[in-house]
Amino acid sequence: MTARAFLLASAAAFAALPALAADPELTVFDWAGFEDQALIEGYVAKHGQMPTYAFYGDDDEAFQKVASGFKADVAHPCSAKVESYRQVGLIEPWDVSRIPEFANIAPRFLNSPIFKDDQGVWYIPTDYAYTAIAWNTKEVPEADVASLNVFLDPKYQDRISLPDNTDDVWALALLATGVTDWSAVTEDQFKAAADWLRKAHQNVRAYWADPSELAQLMATGEVLVAWSWNDSIALMREEGFPVGFQRQAKEGASTWFCGYVNFKDAPGSEDKAYDFINAWLDKGSAAGLLAGFGYAHANDAGLATIPVEDLAAADVNPVETTLLSQTPISQEQRDRMLQEFENIKAGF
């Protein structure tokens, strides 16, 4: 097992624990696996240790835990979930005058009043990648993954895996039914996507919760086709597994980005929260993010330090295809998507 594989497997095992003890003055609530020193070398150099980490498996789980009283200093939601934190008053704006690399964040990541308004900057984007088709290149012909309807193909009954993640499964279902902008989904479009997802559910072997779980499902041969993030692909390629990543299916692929929010009334050191985000945004972190996760950095200046061929090898270079961007949507719409997805998984 490589170091990266061990990291992900260990992180998944720790996900149920409240925290991994380190610096008691900064608690980072993060996705399992992100306690990677290569992402925050500047923080460790300054303070001599990693922050304390608490882990979660998806954005909905994280929000529910914080809304129920769990205390942390910063958290790492993806863009579609930020409004939830704002609506209930859990976060406060960042002081970007204390974040020198903020000016180098690609403007497209802040193009929403949910992230940036006259009250300040509520969200610091840090990383982005894609959700697309992963397939076993020895067992599945490339022609079969030219369309997202591979997930409905009876040939792959009980051989596919979808993420146990509301945003990603709805991005898939909406793309598959012809919707590329989920900010204004009609009733008919919602129903068509839900119907498509119910059909796909009949082929699902398992809903994966983290990249190491998906990698294991594909490595054992149980799963041949999956809707995957880049890091599962990076992990399988490290292990020499024959996996392809189809980001140019006929109907398109999905793109997403994640970043950090600053909790109001946080228990730890505000200064260390800024040290943490500054370490994350440091140009040097772009290489660690790509090598460890297969993700691209939201800091354009940092990303520019990565050779173009390395970005292409990790499948985070731009693609000429239809993309559904997982930008913020209304909380009401997202709650409806979450409930419908739970119904589908339960067989209703």
pLDDT tens sequence across 299-313: 999 999 999 999 999
pLDDT grade, residue 246 (50/70/90)? very high
Q: Which residues contact 321 (CB under 8 A, 6 or more apart)?
A: 247, 248, 249, 252, 253
Chain length of the chain = 348
Confirm if 226 and 214 have CB atoms less than 8 A apart.
Answer: yes
CB atoms within 10 A of CB 38: 15
- Given this chain, do its domains 3-128+257-313 and 129-254+320-345 carry the same CATH topology? yes
Query: CA-CA distance, 217 to 303, in Å (whole number)?
Result: 32
Closest by CA to 101, choosing from 300, 269, 262, is 300
Among 14-23, 89-98, 216-225, the least confident range: 14-23
Q: d(Cα 127, Cα 299) in Å, to the nearest integer? A: 8
246's enclosing H/E stretch is strand 243-246
pLDDT given at position 20: 53
CATH 3.40.1190.20 is the classification of domain 3-128+257-313: no
pLDDT at residue 4 tops 60: no
The SS3 assignment for 138 reads: coil
Residue 16 has pLDDT above 60, yes or no: no
More confident residue, 5 or 127: 127
Residue 86 in this model has a pLDDT that exceeds 90: yes
Ranking 63-72, 177-186, 208-217, 326-335 by mean pLDDT, the lowest is 326-335
Name the architecture of domain 129-254+320-345: 3-Layer(aba) Sandwich (3.40)
Q: Which of 178, 169, 225, 223 is nearest to 197 (CA)?
A: 169
Which sequence spans correspond to the domains of the chain?
A: 3-128+257-313, 129-254+320-345
Average pLDDT over residues 266-292: 97
